[in-house]
Structure 1
Amino acid sequence: MKRTIRTTLITTGALIAALGTPATGAWADTTAPRIDLRILVVSDGGPSTDAIAAELDTAGTPYTEIDLTRSDRPMIDAGFLADTVDGRPRARFQAVVLPNDNPFAANSPEMAALAAYEQTYGIPQVDAYTYARPEAGLQYPVDGGYSGSLDGVQAEVTTAGRSGPFGYLDGPVPFEDNSPTVGESYAYLSTPVAGADFTPYVQAPIPGTTEQGSLVGEYRHDGRRELVVTFVYNRYQQQFRLLSRGIVEWMTGGVHLGASRNYFAVHVDDVFAADDRWNSTLNCTPGDVDCTDPNATPDPIRMTSADVDHAIAWQNAHHFTLDMVYNGAGSEDQREDHNGVDALADKFIADRAAFRWVNHTYTHAFLGCEQDITVVPWRCVTDADGSTKWVSRYAISDEIARNRVWGELAGLPLDNDELVTGEHSGLQVLPQQPDDNPNLALALADNGITWLASDNSREPEQRQVGPATTVPRYPMNVFYNAGRTAEQVDEYNWIYTSRAQGGSGICEDHPDTTTCLSAPLDTSTGYTDHIVPLERQIALGHVLANDPKPHFIHQSNLAEDRIAYPVLDGVLNTYDSLFATDTPVVDLRMKDIGTELQRRAAWHTAVQNDQVTAYRIGDTVTVQSPDGVAVPATMPDGTTRAGSAFGEPYAGARSGWTLPTASAPLTLTLPASASASSTAGGTGSSTKTVKPAPRTRVPEGVTTPLSPTAER
């Protein structure tokens, strides 16, 4: 949601005179300044400011970025920071993010301008990653502190942090340690300078002492407030993802555009059908089009009634709902082969209200081009003129409609505008099928489909397919053709090891593959020791990144050894250990995820095109945006719109999407407890000289984000 300034605006002027005398109390209502709801991010190209900018962007919080490495950037002076609108003083930014506590040269007029601006309007400053020093309220690390790695260390949110901006956390803040050979963190641990008004919010043990050193803390001085962060991070690391919400809440006082949730949804594909089993001798899956050995005999994996009971008990224990993505023909085939009996379907139907249900087509047929499976890999059948032969509109429509009718007759609680095609077929499949089946869009329209699942590994962005909008889904590396852990590990070894080790060699052909193995995993321990922790960390990373896209597994993974549950348990149990009860995982159905992604795209476009104006005057927030574009906002508890509570409670605040009326901008009234004071605390002059911040260390694992798959 950034707007990057590239041209010089106004030269430095008389800073203090232009900004006005620092206030000594709250502004009177009639003279309260206008504070625009936009963040100023001043970047030196480092990973920490980039991480904060990415957090703002994902949440939908507008910001302006100034790149200090550009020669054509604007000067940060009084005119750049503030002006007057309709006779009222305006602060153009509600917060300032700097790379450190002072990224400018000695006696810089820009730092002086920022200090005066922050004093005058009560604007907070985030020091994204700074050296611990008295100018930031901390003792030098050499004075009983520590400088070095925190890989694998567990930091803690302090009592002040939990009662303040980090109250959504339960306390622990574990630092990643994905590789024993690559540094992934660096920190300066120190204690506050004697007499400094400094409150640690997150701290960690200082090695060799009984003291705790600050990692994140608030320093109040000279009429200003700074959030002092003394460890480095990038946007992907778990420690930042845990603290990012609190950093934004602190800098905005809990009043900002944009909203963030921790999402997790899990689709279980192929319910009622059976999934063919991996054959460890043939290194393929009999029944699959690419397994052409004439001696290959399919060995189906299918859930049982007991597996349904286990799924329900698991859901109840975690307060979580799975999406069952079903193929009705799977049950009909079972009844045909077993004298009309299908205990699994009877059990699922009896307990249908325990789950959400999604149409997965009747037979799971491939709905793209007609496939020539006489070759490996398969190819599209073509006509004499070379044109592709496509599965017909009638055949696609029949697959959708028959499955819907089957589900309705079974009493499944469906949303008939949702669809997951088998293997996401009908959509393009590279390299064999570079285009969508043109009949797919027609069949979707025939059946009223407006939400269509896609594979995020192929198409991470939403797009339109006729009347439908895609909903990208994350494939989990828990294979559809495995019901037992040994099968999963055997196939994993074959895919991700070298040819010399008996593997597929995919990593030799594609060295950027992130799941490559240096040696095969032990089939008896590899799943628990390697695959489960890895998949848990990848999925949890999505959860913590405000990413609503669903993950998908298969019914085979809930059968036999029930291999999906250790991964899902890892995600949810880890989450529960990190977050307070007022910050639950949000589990949406597919169409609601699609709506969330659509709203974000529309809002992002409006912000990028400078079509949004938002500001706060006293206890009133005003937002103007294009007609029909919903506004995401996060406000303190007690905020109202036209006398009614705004948004929904989450993480100690209220947030959500809301539409302005056609005739008036959106107006929100903040509670009295959220009244802003322009005084930041402390005393002193805004013009005193502050030395530039020393250089800080950034390890390799931060500058180049380290995959959680790094060999241990």
Structure 2
Amino acid sequence: MKRTLRTTVLTVGALIAAFGLPAGAAHADDTPRIDLRVLLVSDGGPSTDAIAAELTDTGTPFTEIDLARSGRQVIDADFLADTVDGRARAKFQAVVLPDDDPFAAGSSEMAALTAYEQTYSIPQVDAYTYARPQAGLQVPTDGGYSGSIDGIQADVTDAGKAGPFGYLSGTVPFEDNDPSVNESYAYLSQPVTGADFTPYVEATIPGTSTKGSLVGEYRHDGRRELVVTFVYNQYQEQFRLLARGIVEWMTGGVHLGASRNYFSVHVDDVFAADDRWNSELNCTPGDVDCTDSDATADPIRMTPDDVDYAVSWEQSKGFTFDLAFNGVGSVDQRDDNNGVDLLADKLVADKNDFRWINHTYTHAFLGCVQNTTVVPWVCETDADGSTQWVSQDTISDEIATNRAWAETNGLPLESDELITGEHSGLRVLPQQPDDNPNLAPALAANGIDWLGSDNSRESAQRQVGAAETVPRYPMNVFYNVAKAAEEVDEYNWLYTSRAQGGSGLCEDNPATTTCLSAPLDTGTGYAGYIVPLETRIALGHVLSDDPRPHYIHQSNLTEDRIAYPVLNGVLDGYRALFADNTPVVSLRMKDIGTELKRRADWQTALQAGQVTAYRIGDAVTVQAPAGLEVTATLPTGTTLAGSAFGSAYAGAVSGWTPSTGDPLSLTLPATTATTAVTTAASTAPATDPAPHTRVPAGVAEPATATATATN
């Protein structure tokens, strides 16, 4: 039977009545209130988990319903909507489902969601669904494809660039990190003839020149669905690239929370020299764990040419290094060379090309007093067994003397930032399970508010007295190497088995993620294996809305300058993926600490139910406790009390604004309130039910790679 295509326009008031709300529920102006909260219905699979992780990281509130949990909340009209002060209220601005219809046939819950979405123009994300006519797509057997798409390059369509994915440059690479594992499974197909379906991201169907949709918008029956037909987890690059657009699509670009892509690099031990790895002894002469009496130190120190190279590189990349410095390195150099230190002269002359961080004067260990006559070292104890600690005066002297040296040399230093040598003073397991009790008072006495910590030991920000830590990612570009061959030799020692000449670390700690099945070639292993791996790990942090800085050492900027291939891989790779409106953000340490603190406070307030937000037409209202900084992402041109809100990023504006406890009232730039709902043409009925969209065999969540902490 031929269906008659028709378009029906209904007022919101009529739809509210049709939805079964109580008589008199509609407000006088008929504009409903839409709460800024997402409903996420989860099947426990990686795709809905990934979207939940993105909403959490962004700081966008959501309510999760686990379909597998007994006694869970039933989704019905009362759960989805009600009235507040006589105005109809939609409790969720978007709905995320595991697939286009995860309920049993004839489900009252799906019927309630359908009516809700039609009534309030609420968009629905199908996190991972089979390509079928009910989702606006042909089944894959009709000229499409189902299977692995590892290593393919997908494309953002013109509609995607003009719409929710306008922050991308145009390509979306799919990972292929392990040829033995199917990492990305997908259904590729074209829209059903006559369907109102707009592909946003598509890829070539294997064996053809035809494009098939991976992400697209399907409009039908007065509803809008974002149809995603590939499986993913929260760590995969393809999801990280598309996650922002998925959130922007589902929220219409109006939501609490915000995200940016961050990358900052600290270079430790500047002015000092780092001891060099000894490939025969498999240790570093000068370090406490290298006890061979015949070991001879071979220090590594930058040269003026390395400074010129660094400045030129920064200018070419539009990037700034943060140099963590030890003033005694220059003092010792001058003492040993008749007052000459060409490196320090050059760095001081170019001081404004860098940001500077106090790394203590001598890089002394500021935790317990170390007994280095044993390997591994232990803390010295008093006769009663109590730990001997480095004194508060010693810690203060390290901070203040380095600060005074910087002032004498005119370095533009932020006096409230500090990174101790080896992050010492903070607890380090197993030898020192507690912070040095003298650390916090020394920090307070010297006005330190932000203290660098090692993210591989402590990933969460925490207080040390009045100061807050700033966790830093160690890169597996080791502190004690300046040549590619040295890096590979030490890497082989750390990550191969004893039978292969290695340390056996991986045998003793099977959870280590950087283990090797065989030693790398010292001539090719760095460029061929370590650089791509470290680039991927660091770029993964950048794409995860993670502001934590990475750290390397001055030894990595000299001789073979081995840090640059990794840094180039991150920055060049990023710029190939993103449009100019989405630059990488590089913050200095105190600003990173502030961002982390704001986020923690925001998450605490969300979890406590202390924040409410809603939209009525062009007006957005946020209620939050006094003193809490509120974060939101809104369309360009949004105002707060008559002034522009936020700053531009990724085609929108976002930022933080303090709450006084009174409602914050924001005005969107142009009317986008829903006053009518259009019902699109009906599509042909499905022939067979869609297969349950389970994760295909071999698709697994990758372990997060772990770098070895370095001093």
Q: SS of 2:532's equivalent?
A: helix
- Encode CA deviations 1:81-123: one digit per residue, 9 max, x unaligned: 0000000000000000000000000011110100000000000
Tell me which residue corresponds to 2:279: 280
- Encode CA deviations 1:130-176: one digit per residue, 9 max, x unaligned: 00000000000000000000101110100100010000000110000
Tell me which residue corresponds to 1:145: 144
Matches within 5 A, 1:359-438: 359-438=358-437
Query: Is 1:41 aligned to residue 40 of structure 2?
Result: yes
- Encode CA deviations 1:620-671: one digit per residue, 9 max, x unaligned: 0000011111111000011011111110000000001111234x21111001
CA distance in 1, matches of 2:157, 2:20: 37
**Across the two proteins, how many residue pairs are aligned to each other?**
687
CA distance in 1, matches of 2:223, 2:377: 66
Tell me which residue corresponds to 1:226: 225
Tell me which residue corresponds to 2:664: 666
Tell me which residue corresponds to 1:694: 691
Tell me which residue corresponds to 1:504: 503
Tell me which residue corresponds to 1:640: 639
Say if 1:35 and 1:91, in contact at 8 Å, map to a contact too: yes
Q: 1:504 to 1:32 in 2, by over 3 A?
A: same
Q: SS of 1:267's equivalent?
A: strand
Tell me which residue corresponds to 1:24: none
Output the amino acid matched with 1:670: L
Tell me which residue corresponds to 1:355: 354
Tell me which residue corresponds to 1:482: 481
CA distance in 2, matches of 1:249, 1:539: 25
Q: SS of 1:436's equivalent?
A: coil
Say if 1:266 and 1:552, in contact at 8 Å, map to a contact too: yes
CA distance in 2, matches of 1:151, 1:76: 37
Q: SS of 1:404's equivalent?
A: helix
- Encode CA deviations 1:601-620: one digit per residue, 9 max, x unaligned: 10101100111110000100
Say if 1:256 and 1:635, in contact at 8 Å, map to a contact too: yes
CA distance in 2, matches of 1:568, 1:460: 22
CA distance in 2, matches of 1:189, 1:234: 19
Tell me which residue corresponds to 2:85: 86
CA distance in 1, matches of 2:331, 2:28: 71
* Shift of residue 703, structure 1, vs aligned partner: 3.6
Q: 1:260 to 1:476 in 2, by over 3 A?
A: same
CA distance in 1, matches of 2:99, 2:674: 25
Matches within 5 A, 1:200-215: 200-215=199-214
Among residues 665, 669, 682, which one is paired with 2:680 in the alignment? 682
* Shift of residue 679, structure 1, vs aligned partner: 2.1
Output the amino acid matched with 2:396: S
* Shift of residue 699, structure 1, vs aligned partner: 3.2
Q: 1:489 to 1:29 in 2, by over 3 A?
A: farther
CA distance in 1, matches of 2:73, 2:16: 19
Identity in percent: 74
CA distance in 2, matches of 1:379, 1:48: 46
- Encode CA deviations 1:502-521: one digit per residue, 9 max, x unaligned: 10000000111100001100
* Shift of residue 18, structure 1, vs aligned partner: 6.5
CA distance in 1, matches of 2:671, 2:16: 30
- Encode CA deviations 1:520-575: one digit per residue, 9 max, x unaligned: 00001000000000000000000000000000000000011000000000000000
- Encode CA deviations 1:467-518: one digit per residue, 9 max, x unaligned: 1100000000000000000000000000000001110000000111100001
CA distance in 2, matches of 1:44, 1:430: 38
- Encode CA deviations 1:321-375: one digit per residue, 9 max, x unaligned: 1100000000000000010010101100011000000000000000000111111
Query: Is 1:313 aligned to residue 312 of structure 2?
Result: yes
CA distance in 2, matches of 1:70, 1:528: 48
- Encode CA deviations 1:10-62: one digit per residue, 9 max, x unaligned: xxxxx9866259xxxxx998221000000000001110000001000000000
Query: Is 1:330 aligned to residue 322 of structure 2?
Result: no
CA distance in 2, matches of 1:143, 1:289: 67
Q: 1:234 to 1:677 in 2, by over 3 A?
A: farther
CA distance in 1, matches of 2:298, 2:82: 73
Among residues 680, 697, 704, which one is paired with 2:701 in the alignment? 704
* Shift of residue 401, structure 1, vs aligned partner: 0.2
Output the amino acid matched with 1:19: F
CA distance in 2, matches of 1:677, 1:17: 14
* Shift of residue 693, structure 1, vs aligned partner: 4.2
Tell me which residue corresponds to 1:19: 19
CA distance in 1, matches of 2:369, 2:207: 68
Output the amino acid matched with 2:69: R
Tell me which residue corresponds to 2:291: 292
Matches within 5 A, 1:614-633: 614-633=613-632
Q: SS of 2:295's equivalent?
A: coil
Say if 2:513 and 2:703, in contact at 8 Å, map to a contact too: no
Tell me which residue corresponds to 1:260: 259
- Encode CA deviations 1:183-238: one digit per residue, 9 max, x unaligned: 10100000000000000000011011110000000000000000000000000000
CA distance in 1, matches of 2:187, 2:524: 38
Q: SS of 1:275's equivalent?
A: coil
CA distance in 2, matches of 1:176, 1:82: 41
CA distance in 2, matches of 1:606, 1:689: 45
CA distance in 1, matches of 2:675, 2:203: 32
Output the amino acid matched with 1:484: K
CA distance in 2, matches of 1:600, 1:145: 43
Unaligned runs of 5+ in 1: 1-14, 22-26
Q: SS of 1:483's equivalent?
A: coil
Q: SS of 2:632's equivalent?
A: strand
CA distance in 2, matches of 1:211, 1:29: 51
CA distance in 1, matches of 2:369, 2:211: 65
Say if 2:617 and 2:672, in contact at 8 Å, map to a contact too: no
Output the amino acid matched with 1:556: S
Say if 2:196 and 2:681, in contact at 8 Å, map to a contact too: no
Tell me which residue corresponds to 1:7: none
Which range is displaced more, 638-647 or 211-220? 638-647
Q: 1:20 to 1:637 in 2, by over 3 A?
A: farther
Say if 1:103 and 1:693, in contact at 8 Å, map to a contact too: no
Output the amino acid matched with 2:664: L
Query: Is 1:525 aligned to residue 524 of structure 2?
Result: yes
Output the amino acid matched with 2:264: A
Tell me which residue corresponds to 2:542: 543
CA distance in 2, matches of 1:644, 1:244: 30
Output the amino acid matched with 1:632: T
* Shift of residue 70, structure 1, vs aligned partner: 1.0
Output the amino acid matched with 1:507: C
Q: SS of 2:373's equivalent?
A: coil
CA distance in 1, matches of 2:541, 2:675: 37
CA distance in 2, matches of 1:124, 1:678: 14
Q: SS of 1:637's equivalent?
A: coil
Q: 1:70 to 1:384 in 2, by over 3 A?
A: same
CA distance in 2, matches of 1:364, 1:682: 68
CA distance in 1, matches of 2:681, 2:457: 56
Tell me which residue corresponds to 2:558: 559
Say if 2:95 and 2:125, in contact at 8 Å, map to a contact too: yes
Say if 1:29 and 1:618, in contact at 8 Å, map to a contact too: no
Tell me which residue corresponds to 1:343: 342
Say if 2:27 and 2:87, in contact at 8 Å, map to a contact too: no
CA distance in 1, matches of 2:299, 2:583: 37
* Shift of residue 698, structure 1, vs aligned partner: 1.3
Q: SS of 1:513's equivalent?
A: coil
Output the amino acid matched with 2:691: P
CA distance in 1, matches of 2:698, 2:439: 44
Say if 2:616 and 2:673, in contact at 8 Å, map to a contact too: no
Q: CA RMSD in A?
A: 1.7
Matches within 5 A, 1:440-479: 440-479=439-478
Q: SS of 1:672's equivalent?
A: coil
